[in-house]
Amino acid sequence: MQVESLINARWVIPVEPGHEILDFHSIAIDQGRIHAILPTSEAREQFIAQRTVDLPRHALIPGLINAHTHAAMSLFRGLADDLPLMDWLQQHIWPAEARWAHEEFIADGTRLAVAEMLRSGTTCFNDMYFFPDVTAKVAAQAGIRSVIGLILIDFPSAWAEDTDTYLSKAVEVHDQFRNEPLVNTAFAPHAPYSVSDEPLQRMLVMANELDIPIHMHVHESGEEIRQGIEKHGCRPIERLQTLNLLGPSLAAVHMTLLNDEEMVRVADSGASVVHCPESNLKLASGFCQVQRLLDAGVNVALGTDGAASNNDLDMLGEMHTAALLGKGVANDPSALPAEQVLQMATLNGALALGLAEETGSLVVGKAADITAIDLGQPQTQPVYHPVSQIVYAAGREQVSDVWVAGQRLVSNSRVNCMDVQGITLNAARWGQRIGSE
């Protein structure tokens, strides 16, 4: 039988079902989808491929899903580090956003972010920022899968002046990209402390109507919890539950400092948690009890957050940090084993974003969103367990190839769907403009 592509790999790590590792297997791709996964010896007999890619030292994993980004903020990378949280936000990030976060900035910042994400093996990102239509356009043009946050916040911005406008523009953007196969949308109310009850309630009705997920910062810091109690008379989780927001369509980002009772509430609700370990550490936001959430049955995905609080969009690095930090926080070296963390960065992300039918694992019928990692380099040798090497030792530079919906967007470690050199020079120019003010 003829197929579009055949990838022959040393290892195929499908993530589901179970945590099996397939030695010397191949993936046949046709019409953008995974057509078959089978031993390479059989694949060579069964298929005639238009393109064959031999990856003899490589592992194929599901394309990584970055479940929380502010892509355009890459242009603020390193602008204001090592500062107290409120100083960082109020004196640096918010003024910089007010001054710069317009369409051209969003487009150029998102290009920089997408180039970095593709190069490091990410095939899908879940974004929250102003001008989501611009982000969606850049993502679609590059060919990366995206979930575009339809942002909602109490404060006026260059994107929208009030709740009515935020909500009407949200619907417009949703409609605009309805037929764009790689663009998905989610509502993105910013955070409990920055969106009032009434807009949240209106948003929830619309999210249910449109049948899209809700992407929200929740429990990022102790200050948020204190403010919530002061303003609403209860902690944020209780308020969200009262508002009917705590449910299966919620992807709650950060979720540090949860008490025991809140962990039960979250688990019972079916909400997903998006863990952002590097951002939580960098902003000293508090620790997320990931192993306890997993034990309680919560779907935990993984995200980098924006480059202003990380400062990279590197999901391999984020897996490394999540696996290590999860053990330290649980006080148990067997917590967050490598297989679990790989699942968080792939299938759990797809589940959190309502995309598990389409992506997140290497399963026949799903989109061919695939990342190849070269384990044949000294820093990942020898290979006793490929998943250990991927989570604990491999770096983004070992990502050799990336496919999204069957399109090979990275080959031989080069992003071939974007003008990376031009994007990088353009980012440098933005840095000069922003840094000189």
Question: 44 with 21: CB under 8 angstroms?
Answer: no
Among all chains, which residue has been given the structure tokens 């989808």? Answer: 33
Q: 78 or 297, CB closer to a second copy?
A: 78
CB of 283 to a second copy, least distance (A): 5
Out of 249, 321, 348, 407, the residue judged to bind a second copy by CB under 8 A: 321
Among all chains, which residue has been given the structure tokens 């950060």? Answer: 254
Q: 265 or 327, CB closer to a second copy?
A: 327
Q: Is the dihedral of CA 311, 313, 314, 319 positive or negative?
A: positive
Binding flag, residue 81, a second copy (CB under 8 A)? yes
Angular region, 255: left φ>0, alpha ψ -120 to 50, beta rest:
left
Considering only the stretches 114-122, 123-131, 140-148, 342-350, report the one whose residues sit in contact with a second copy under the rule CB under 8 A.
Answer: 114-122
CB of 115 to a second copy, least distance (A): 5
Q: 363 or 434, CB closer to a second copy?
A: 434
Which tokens in the block code for residue 290? 């990931």
Q: 248 or 431, CB closer to a second copy?
A: 431
Of 8, 14, 26, 21, the closest CA to residue 366 belongs to 14
Query: Distance between CA atoms of 165 and 106, rounded to whole angstroms?
Result: 19
| DSSP code at position 63 | P
Out of 224, 278, 358, 401, the residue judged to bind a second copy by CB under 8 A: 278
Out of 58, 320, 366, 408, the residue judged to bind a second copy by CB under 8 A: 320
Of 91, 99, 153, 104, the closest CA to residue 131 belongs to 104
Q: 53 or 335, CB closer to a second copy?
A: 335
Binding flag, residue 380, a second copy (CB under 8 A)? yes
Beta bridge partners of 65: 124
Which tokens in the block code for residue 236? 């944020």
- Taking CB under 8 A as the criterion, which residues in 151-210 touch a second copy? none
Residue 97 CA, distance from chain mean position = 22
Out of 233, 331, 365, 437, the residue judged to bind a second copy by CB under 8 A: 331
Q: In the sheet where 399-404 sits, what is the strand order?
A: 33-39, 22-30, 2-12, 48-62, 370-374, 399-404, 407-411, 414-415
Considering only the stretches 26-34, 45-53, 227-235, 373-381, report the one whose residues sit in contact with a second copy under the rule CB under 8 A.
Answer: 373-381
Distances (CA, A) of 324 to 250, 331, 332, 424: 26, 11, 10, 31
CB of 27 to a second copy, least distance (A): 24
Listed in sequence order, the residues at least 6 apart from 315 whose beta carbon sits closer than 8 Å to its beta carbon are: 64, 65, 66, 117, 120, 121, 122, 302, 304, 345
Residues in the chain: 437
Residues 338-357: x where in contact with a second copy by CB under 8 A, - otherwise, as a string: x-------------------
Out of 379, 412, 414, 416, the residue judged to bind a second copy by CB under 8 A: 379
Binding flag, residue 38, a second copy (CB under 8 A)? no
CB of 85 to a second copy, least distance (A): 6
Containing 343, the helix (H) or strand (E) segment is: helix 338-344
CB of 79 to a second copy, least distance (A): 5
Out of 58, 254, 366, 396, the residue judged to bind a second copy by CB under 8 A: 396
Query: Distance between CA atoms of 278 and 159, rounded to whole angstroms?
Result: 28
Q: 249 or 309, CB closer to a second copy?
A: 309
Size of the site for a second copy (CB under 8 A): 73
Considering only the stretches 59-67, 127-135, 311-319, 362-370, report the one whose residues sit in contact with a second copy under the rule CB under 8 A.
Answer: 311-319
Out of 330, 342, 367, 410, the residue judged to bind a second copy by CB under 8 A: 330
Binding flag, residue 270, a second copy (CB under 8 A)? no
CB of 282 to a second copy, least distance (A): 5
Binding flag, residue 68, a second copy (CB under 8 A)? no
Binding flag, residue 406, a second copy (CB under 8 A)? no
